[in-house]
Chain A
Amino acid sequence: EAAVTQSPRSKVAVTGGKVTLSCHQTNNHDYMYWYRQDTGHGLRLIHYSYVADSTEKGDIPDGYKASRPSQENFSLILELASLSQTAVYFCASSDTNSGNTLYFGEGSRLIVV
């Protein structure tokens, strides 16, 4: 069974609209992450969290907010979606005992029109 699940798996949003991507993990991990993948590129870290009710900025946080209401759930929020935010978004989890091994969800494809 998938331990990191993302929803929606695909979404079309209008420019200026609000988008929320959700992530749920059953690994009992303390760390959760949101990465962005653009075609032909690697992954870039947007936000991460190491404990519930706390989030931290990653390498490209501008235009994104994050929310960690519980250990299992981590959301990525685009308040005003822009064309440049069209990408595939991946959620991942890890714990301090796993030696930096990340467990990824299947991804959420976002198209902003």
Chain B
Amino acid sequence: TQTVSQSDAHVTVFEGDSVELRCNYSYGGSIYLSWYIQHHGHGLQFLLKYYSGNPVVQGVNGFEAEFSKSDSSFHLRKASVHWSDSAVYFCAVSPGSWQLIFGSGTQLTVMP
């Protein structure tokens, strides 16, 4: 059974700070890992994904994520956040087929 864990339900930072949103997964085989963003009242939007190769992947709006097989993690980072980055971020795991399994989400609040 694949599981996705986002240990932080809420993260609050100030504008211009760096941020890391954590994601850990459990699965024994090859998987896709991805991050999605959900602004309040809207649907989810794709940010980035990893399957193989360079463990650091770049996404839109300055986001990047790093895959670690040893830690079973795929943490999302941004060097300098903007107020518009306030949203809920979902990590997702896919075992190579069509299905995505989502974590419970992390609410990021960026203070002015």
Contacts and interface: CB of A to CB of B under 8 A. Distances in A.
A42 B104 contact: yes
A41 B105 CA distance: 7
A18 to B, nearest CB: 25
Contact of B46 (A42, A45, A102): A102
B94 interface: yes
B102 A106 contact: no
Interface in A10-25: none
Contacts of B41: 106-107
Nearest to B103: A42
B104 A101 contact: no
Interface in A46-70: 48, 50
A102 B32 contact: no
Given A99-B49, A103-B46, A31 B32 contact: no
B90 A90 contact: no
A101 B46 CA distance: 7
Contacts, number: 56
B43 A90 contact: yes
Contacts of B94: 100
Given A42-B90, A100-B49, A50 B34 contact: no
B45 interface: yes
Please classify how large the interface on chain A is, using the bins under 10, 10 to 19, 20 to 34, 35 or more.
Answer: 20 to 34
A113 interface: no
29 contacts: A31-B98, A40-B9, A40-B104, A40-B105, A41-B104, A41-B105, A42-B103, A42-B104, A43-B44, A43-B90, A43-B102, A45-B99, A48-B98, A48-B99, A90-B43, A94-B98, A99-B49, A99-B51, A100-B34, A100-B49, A100-B94, A100-B98, A100-B100, A101-B46, A101-B49, A102-B44, A103-B46, A104-B43, A105-B43
Interface of B: 4, 9, 32, 34, 36, 41-46, 49, 51, 90, 94, 96-100, 102-105
Given A42-B103, A48-B98, 17 more contacts: A4-B43, A41-B104, A42-B4, A42-B102, A42-B104, A45-B99, A50-B98, A92-B43, A94-B98, A99-B49, A100-B98, A101-B34, A104-B43, A104-B44, A105-B43, A107-B42, A107-B43
